Amino acid sequence: MHLNNIGGSSNAPAASPPWKLGFRSSRRFVISVVAMAVFTDIFIYGMIIPILPVVLKTRVAVPDDQLQKWMSIMLAAFGGALFVGSPIFGYFADKGTSRQVPFIFGLLALGGSTIMFWVARTLSSLVIARVLQGLSAAVVWTVGMALVVDTVGKDQVGAAMGYVSMAMTVGTVFGPFIGGVVLSRVSYDAVFAIAVGLIILDILLRLVMIEQKTALKWTQPPIANETESLLGSVGDTGNGVYEATRQDYSEVVANPRHSVCWPEVSGEPNSSGKTSNIPPIVRLMCSSSMLLFLGATVVDAILWSSFDTVLPLHVMDTFNWSPFWVGICFLPLFAPSFFSPLVGDAVDRYGSRTIAFLGFLLDFPTFFLLRLITHDTEQDQVLLYIFLFIAGIASSLQMVSLMTEISLVVERHEKESPGIFGTQGGMGQAYGLFNVAWSGGQVLGPLIAGLLSDRGGWVTMVSVFGTMSGITAVVIGFSDEKILRAFRKEA
């Protein structure tokens, strides 16, 4: 047995393959490592939220009249680090020879932030801890997503992103719950002991993982040609089952090379194989397809985050619910995300734009139906659960398809102009932009929802968001020839 090259170093001799190379570089294991990274990051973030007021009051001695201010600063520190760090880490991930190095750096940032939270006694320490946590999230959601795409290839990106999305949901649901329960029933130190345990497990997984491009030095045929489905064998169905995704490349109304900044890339022929002088992230920001789906990502994040802001207050005012029942009402919203792998499989089969279109189209009537939830009756309570469940389905369709489409936009650009993003491609920077769009939407969502609710009430807010969903569905529909063709047949 060879135990060397735990991290998959490129300097290892080709004649001495690492121990369990096939397993450590397999698609399932790499996706599991990324999903675990997403879960750990989201779980620890959510676990800290309910104990943050306690930390500010008891350990830092923040006065009650300044508590809200410092809570906002802590949230802003995380969001700012995520916003700034995402494109930076995406750039370095694409420029480096390995995704694993920045991936491990993100883990160190998360470990540092967790320990600082544990021992912090000053406001400056807490702010620095939140910044480190934001940088860690930036790494996970840029380098991790790029690593997934590198591993599975374009035909199974949707299924892989489905597992990642499910991991995010599990962390979102259980992080605050476990953090609050452990703090109230056990101790403050126990909360961070759980977090440190998860980080140690994450360290082991990230060090054991070997990137497939590194593994090719020893076992190129079995690694490079691995084609099994993430949800089961595709031997009986063949490659045709994913033909819809490949056809989707040629069914975009807009030319995939079209740029809103310039018509072509420095006069380079498409087949030159030379790298453009234009930085990949600038090239991506000037892509009409990328801008379209970054905009859709902002809308998705606004819709999702708006529930966190307005829903608790609305159900408390309407139904006189306690905090326990307020938490319960979020379960129908989260539940459909556990089926994200199936959504991802549908994305691979029918195309990411089609599924994204259906997701926003489903949100359109759902938000308008939420206008009905205005009276303290059993019927309204049942309807609320139903409508939130449908909204959860729509959100899962949107999230998985948008995460997948980002990679397909990069693939299309690379196909049209080989080498345009360099030897490592532009996947890291593309997901850096995705992260910026998502974090921007999460900042705007609570602000817009709060403003609409204060000025016009619950009915106005859900009506505006329903209209926003409908407009987004129409824009995505007009961007895809397959969707337009389906409507022409109906007409």
User: pLDDT tens digits, the chain, 491 residues: what are they?
Assistant: 444 444 444 444 455 777 877 888 888 888 888 899 889 988 888 888 778 877 888 888 888 778 767 877 887 788 888 888 888 888 887 776 677 778 788 888 888 889 988 888 888 888 898 888 888 888 888 888 888 888 887 677 888 888 888 888 888 878 877 887 888 788 888 888 999 999 999 888 888 888 777 777 776 654 444 444 554 444 443 333 334 434 444 444 444 444 455 444 443 444 444 545 677 777 788 888 889 999 999 999 899 888 877 888 888 888 988 767 877 888 888 889 888 889 989 998 888 899 999 999 999 999 999 999 989 899 999 999 999 999 999 999 999 999 888 888 888 888 877 777 766 678 888 888 898 898 888 888 888 888 888 888 899 999 999 999 999 999 999 888 887 777 777 65
Residue ending a domain, among 218, 253, 269, is 218
53 and 175, same domain (yes or no): yes
The answer to whether residue 354 sits within a structural domain is yes
195 and 302, same domain (yes or no): no
What's the residue count for the chain?
491
196 and 282, same domain (yes or no): no
The answer to whether residue 55 sits within a structural domain is yes
What is the C-alpha to C-alpha distance for residues 177 and 189, in angstroms, rounded to an integer?
A: 16
440 and 353, same domain (yes or no): yes
For residue 480, list its beta bridge partners: 252
Neighbours of 302 (CB within 10 A): 22
What is the C-alpha to C-alpha distance for residues 156 and 27, in angstroms, rounded to an integer?
A: 10
324 and 200, same domain (yes or no): no
DSSP letter string over 208-274? Answer: H---HHHHHHHHHHHHHT----SSS--TTT-GGGGHHHHHHHHTBSS-TT-BSS-SSSTT--TTS-P
CATH number at residue 184: 1.20.1250.20
156 and 63, same domain (yes or no): yes
pTM (whole model) above 0.85: no
Neighbours of 183 (CB within 10 A): 18
The answer to whether residue 5 sits within a structural domain is no
For the CA atoms of the chain, what is the radius of gyration?
23
The answer to whether residue 1 sits within a structural domain is no
Give the amino acid at 190.
Answer: A
- In sequence order, the 6+-apart residues with CB closer than 8 A to the CB of 276 are 265, 266, 268, 283, 417, 420, 421
Residue ending a domain, among 172, 187, 218, is 218
Do the Cβ atoms of 79 and 442 come closer than 8 Å?
A: yes
What is the C-alpha to C-alpha distance for residues 75 and 66, in angstroms, rounded to an integer?
A: 15
- In sequence order, the 6+-apart residues with CB closer than 8 A to the CB of 9 are 214
Residue 218 burial (C-beta neighbours within 10 Å; 0-12, 13-18, 19+): buried
At 261 the pLDDT is 52
Distance of CA 217 to the CA centre of its chain: 31
Side-chain-side CA neighbours of 32 within 13 Å: the count stands at 14
What is the C-alpha to C-alpha distance for residues 279 and 282, in angstroms, rounded to an integer?
A: 5
How many domains does the chain contain in total?
Answer: 2
DSSP letter string over 18-67? Answer: PTTHHHHTSHHHHHHHHHHHHHHHHHHHHHHGGGHHHIIIIIS---GGGH
173 and 292, same domain (yes or no): no
Residue ending a domain, among 218, 234, 263, is 218
How many Å is the maximal CA-CA distance in the chain? 72
The answer to whether residue 266 sits within a structural domain is no
201 and 343, same domain (yes or no): no
At 61 the pLDDT is 81
330 and 184, same domain (yes or no): no
435 membership: H or E segment, kind and range: helix 427-478
The answer to whether residue 232 sits within a structural domain is no
The answer to whether residue 246 sits within a structural domain is no
317 and 428, same domain (yes or no): yes
69 and 174, same domain (yes or no): yes
Look up the domain containing 153 and give its range. 18-218
The answer to whether residue 240 sits within a structural domain is no
302 and 450, same domain (yes or no): yes
